[in-house]
Amino acid sequence: MRKRSKLALTLMSIPLATVFLTGCEEGDPRGLAENPIERTEFLLGTVANIKVFNEGEEEALDLAFEKVTELDEWFAKEKEDSQISEVNRQAGIKPVKVSEEVFHVMERALYYAEVSDGKFDPTIGAMTSLWNIGQEDAAVPEEEKLENVLDVVDYNLVELNEEEQTIYLEEKGMELDLGAIAKGYITDEAARILVEEGVNTAIVDLGGDIVVVGNSTRGESEPWRVGIQDPFDDRGDIMGMVELVDSAIVTSGIYERNFEEDGKSYHHILNPETGYPFENNISGISIISDNAMDGDAIATVAFAMGVEEGLDYINEMPDVDVIYVTKDKKVFTSDNLTHKVEITDEMFELVE
């Protein structure tokens, strides 16, 4: 039997933002290098890039990547030896003890599930596994299999034991998928390590989850200028700009991770109410917040709500902002960004 009606989905971040760099301001007291120390690796199923602008901080960069690699091994449901995979294997059997970091992210995921009444649901793993969108074997599942999966997507069936630091999925067949929040947490952790090591100017970009550390290289009091990707054009082509300091920006959309079958396109943002990809007029969404972990989860909720309800939701939240780009190339922002987003492509319209 289907559980009570509940909207939930997973939203995976994709790289849509570009941070624009210029030379360091003469006399800048931050000890910045002329050229950044930079490293790029394929982690978290995406391209991970970190730029450090302070002189002599190669070790800090190494430590940040070591942490990203370690956490990727713990959180990835696709990896058989990850902690999340073990929790999924023991669904309906027994609780699984996990690391402090995994337990913390799971607590936060359930918090957003509760406050959003399931619009964010970390137990959507069985559904994402069934569709497998983003992989070569992605396909529309059989209807019977979809119906069965719908019954095990329910965050209320997760039991946390803080004292034992365990996670238990109460029904066999349940699967966690923390991709819609863990990447943000990992981005935050990389930035935290850089700061602890003395870095004061850096960019951490893990596949579209971006944290900017400090002010930009243009000057000690100058913000970073972040370009928002044109969702209808090639990577790197932007449609607007926003300025950020010591902030996270998480951008997601429906058009990079998808496939076609029988002439119809299917994207990765799944609506467990129907078992099929969610349908609305949103092409892309960017959340600006103090940290990327919360930004990840809030992006999911705000996408699920749609533009009108989502704007009301974000406008009630302190220190959080949103940029929506719709399929008809209209741009909507939360109240705090009304005069802070610059549209650079005349094909897009900023709706105020």
Query: Which structure tokens are listed for 236?
Result: 């790197």
Q: Is 300 marked within a binding site?
A: yes
Nearest to 214 by CA among 24, 68, 15: 24
Spatial neighbors of 260 by CB under 8 A, at least 6 apart, are 266
Q: Is 296 marked within a binding site?
A: yes
Q: Is 274 marked within a binding site?
A: no
How far apart, in Å, are the Cα atoms of 246 and each of 22, 191, 211, 213, 314?
A: 18, 10, 7, 5, 20
Spatial neighbors of 115 by CB under 8 A, at least 6 apart, are none
Cβ–Cβ under 8 Å, residues 119 and 305? yes
- Look-up of token digits 């039991």: 159
Residues marked as binding? 180, 296, 300
Mark the binding-site residues for Mg(2+), compressed into ranges: 180, 296, 300
